[in-house]
Structures are given as structure tokens and as C-alpha cells.
């Protein structure tokens, strides 16, 4: 069952986010950004993200979906949950929450080299809208990075 993350979930969600981010991004982004993406930075950033949803036990989350208005801001699934339908369930939940917040279209950003994620999003009905430089959140100054913009019509 998908639920809003609680403070008890944050340490394991920070681990999931840290592991997933490094797996998908570290080889494709500047070292300056990778150096900022330590586990502590993910833990601190999670504390300020109220629309964080997860499923599974607090100590071993299966995945997480973080929303910011009409955006799937962060989306990660544990390696052990891949291929189980967890990603589809989380994505459908995130899309429904955005639609229920009265948004007609959802958006997300993904680095162009993350082919597995892009394929998943396209299979779920998301469409590429081109590459744009996004100012990524960090604990310091925003970091500019070219990202593939994707959108999905929700109604």
C-alpha cells in the first residue's frame, strides 16, 4: 500500500535515493554534481519534501515518488522491486495525485542518458518534449544540467 512518508522512513529513503541516483546519473553528469550527491544531502533534502510517497516497510522501502505541484520530482524503485509492478503502481499513484490536485498535465525531467527510465516513462504514456537545461536542487546553489523534459496528459 502506498503511503505518505513519515520521519521514520527518511533514513532508508535517503539510502534508496542515494543509491538510485548514483546508479543512474553518476557516470553521466559532471563530477562537481556527483560530489554534492552524498547520502547526507539526500537525507537533508527529503526533510523539506512533504509530498513524498513510499511503499514497503520503513527500513526497506520498495520505492518512492516525490511530487512538486504537477511534477514527478523524484522517482526511484529499489533494485529488489524492479520487475514486480512496483514502478507502475507508484507512477499511477503519482499521476493520480497530480490529476486530483487539478492539473491536466504532468511533467518530469530525466537525464538523456538514462535510457531505462525514458523507456519506462514512454511505456507509461509520457512523451519527450526536448532537452532543456534545468537548475537542479542542491544543498547550495542550483546546478544547471541538460535534461530530457517529458510530459503526460492526465485528462
Domain boundaries, the chain: 3-153
pLDDT above 90 coverage of the chain, percent = 97
- pLDDT band at residue 78 using 50, 70 and 90 as cut-offs: very high
Question: Over the stretch 79-132, which tens digit does the pLDDT of each residue have?
Answer: 999 999 999 999 999 999 999 999 999 999 999 999 999 999 999 999 999 999
pLDDT at 154: 98
CATH of domain 3-153: 3.40.630.30
How far is Cα 79 from Cα 112, in angstroms, rounded to an integer? 21
CA end-to-end span of the chain, whole Å? Answer: 25
pLDDT at 48: 85
Average model confidence (pLDDT) across the chain: 96
pLDDT at 132: 98
- pLDDT band at residue 32 using 50, 70 and 90 as cut-offs: very high
Structure pTM? 0.95
pLDDT at 96: 98
Amino acid at each position: 500500500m502506498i503511503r505518505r512518508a513519515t520521519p521514520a522512513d527518511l533514513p532508508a529513503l535517503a539510502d534508496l535515493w542515494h543509491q538510485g541516483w548514483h546508479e543512474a546519473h553518476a557516470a553521466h553528469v559532471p563530477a562537481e554534481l556527483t560530489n554534492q550527491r552524498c547520502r547526507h544531502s539526500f537525507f537533508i533534502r527529503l526533510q523539506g519534501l512533504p509530498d513524498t510517497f513510499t511503499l514497503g516497510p520503513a527500513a526497506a522501502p520498495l520505492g518512492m515518488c516525490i511530487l512538486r505541484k504537477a511534477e514527478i520530482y523524484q522517482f526511484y524503485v529499489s533494485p529488489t522491486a524492479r520487475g514486480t509492478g512496483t514502478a507502475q503502481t507508484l507512477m499511477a499513484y503519482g499521476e493520480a495525485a497530480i490529476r486530483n490536485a487539478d492539473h491536466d498535465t504532468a511533467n518530469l525531467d530525466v537525464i538523456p542518458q538514462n535510457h531505462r527510465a525514458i523507456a519506462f516513462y514512454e511505456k507509461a504514456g509520457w512523451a519527450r518534449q526536448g532537452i532543456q537545461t534545468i537548475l537542479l536542487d542542491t544543498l547550495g546553489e542550483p546546478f544547471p544540467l541538460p535534461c530530457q523534459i517529458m510530459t503526460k496528459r492526465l485528462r
